Amino acid sequence: MLKIEGLKKSYGPRTVLQDLNLHIPTGEIYGLLGPNGAGKTTTINILSNLLQADAGHIFINGQPVSERTKPWLGIAPQENLIYRSLTCAENLDFFARLYGISGKERRRRVQLCLESVGLSDRTTTIAERLSGGMKRRLSMAIALIHQPKLVVLDEPTTGLDIEARYDLWELIRTLQKQGMTILLTTHLLDEAERLCDRIGFLKQGTILQEGTLTELRQLIPAQEILTIQTPDEEAAIARAQTLNLTHRRYGSDLAFWLPQHLELKDIIAQFDGVPLDAIARHPIRLEHIYLEVTKG
């Protein structure tokens, strides 16, 4: 559904995208992750035909990006794309008109989109009176009004409470079941873990690694992550080195990669003589993989 080949973009001396390649098949949710400045927004702007690439090609449904592919693409940007003084139905009606949808079909699409995002009971509600989660739903409905084949969701749940996030996650899964192809950008790694079929790590304008979560876990040669709290971290690291355990810092946590599952008593025995205040075992999470890839 989406194919990006050799995409390059610079702003003066600053290179933002360098030989970016990406392929998303029909019906997949692909998570594009990366730090601020990695090139995500530039990629979306080129995909939207709002920005011209210096080199490379983008194809949607086999066609190069142009005015012709515009109806095939829907975008829900980071900032909600709504007119606050209009009702939910009026917002959708306005954008439907921009796409040239007329008459009974426009009215049908408006009601269908409101139902699909769970806002059928908010048809006449002024947009500014909606909760944050409902505004996000309305913005997604606008992205769907012209029935696109590919939808870009740019940080769809940032700033929402946990209940609103869960509701939007369920909506995104429903869109996929309906055959939608979704490109998702997010800084919430648990969101990517739960939703995405495949994940790509973007840094300095190029994909460093991509794959399913199962495939990406193979980048860390461990079965578990062990974190400890100790007043003598140097002693803990020295002991880990004698055990051939890789150590890492995850924020303030001192962590070690365990190559095999061990009983807690066996782990404690391996650190015998090292003062331990707390010890915990964790599965390998996307946050560990992300840091390993993006921090090298």
Tell me what the mean pLDDT of segment 190-200 comes to.
Answer: 96
Residue 29 binned pLDDT confidence (cut-offs 50, 70, 90): very high
Rounded percentage of the chain residues whose pLDDT exceeds 90: 86
Report the distance separating Cα 268 and Cα 54, nearest Å: 56
What pLDDT score does 27 carry? 96
Provide CB contacts within 8 A for 214, sequence distance 6+: none
Query: Pairing mode, if any, of strands 150-154 and 29-33?
Result: unpaired
Cα 159 to Cα 17: distance, rounded to the nearest angstrom: 28
Q: Hey, how many other C-beta atoms are within 10 angstroms of the C-beta on 41? A: 16
Give, for 259, the enclosing helix (H) or strand (E). none
pLDDT over threshold 90, residue 160: no
The DSSP string of 114-175 is: HHHTT-GGGTTSBGGGS-HHHHHHHHHHHHHTT--SEEEEESTTTT--HHHHHHHHHHHHHH
**What pLDDT score was predicted for residue 254?**
95
For 94-109, how does the pLDDT look when each residue is reduced to its tens digit (9 = 90+)?
999 999 998 899 999 9
Query: What percentage of the chain exceeds 70 in pLDDT?
Result: 100
**pLDDT tens-place string over residues 104-148:** 999 999 999 999 899 999 999 999 999 999 999 999 999 999 999
pLDDT digits (tens, 9 = 90+) for 184-194: 999 999 999 99
Are the C-beta atoms of 2 and 23 separated by less than 8 Å?
yes
- Residue 227 pLDDT class (50, 70, 90 cuts): very high
pLDDT computed for residue 158 by the predictor: 85
Between CA 295 and CA 103 the distance in angstroms is 54
pLDDT higher than 90, residue 89:
yes
> What integer pLDDT is reported at residue 295 of this predicted model?
86
In 3D space, the residue among 22, 70, 12, 47 whose CA is nearest the CA of residue 201 turns out to be 22
pLDDT digits 0-9 by tens, 44-88? 999 998 899 999 999 999 999 988 898 999 999 988 889 999 999
- What is residue 36's predicted lDDT score, i.e. its pLDDT? 87
pLDDT mean over 222-229: 95
pLDDT of residue 243: 94
pLDDT tens digits, 247-281: 999 988 999 999 999 898 999 999 999 999 999 99
pTM over cut 0.75: yes
Q: What domains appear along the chain, each with residue ranges and CATH number?
A: 2-216 (3.40.50.300), 224-294 (3.30.70)
pLDDT of residue 218: 94
Q: State the average pLDDT for the chain.
A: 94
∠ at Cα 146 (141, 149), nearest 5°?
95
Coil, strand, or helix at residue 111? helix
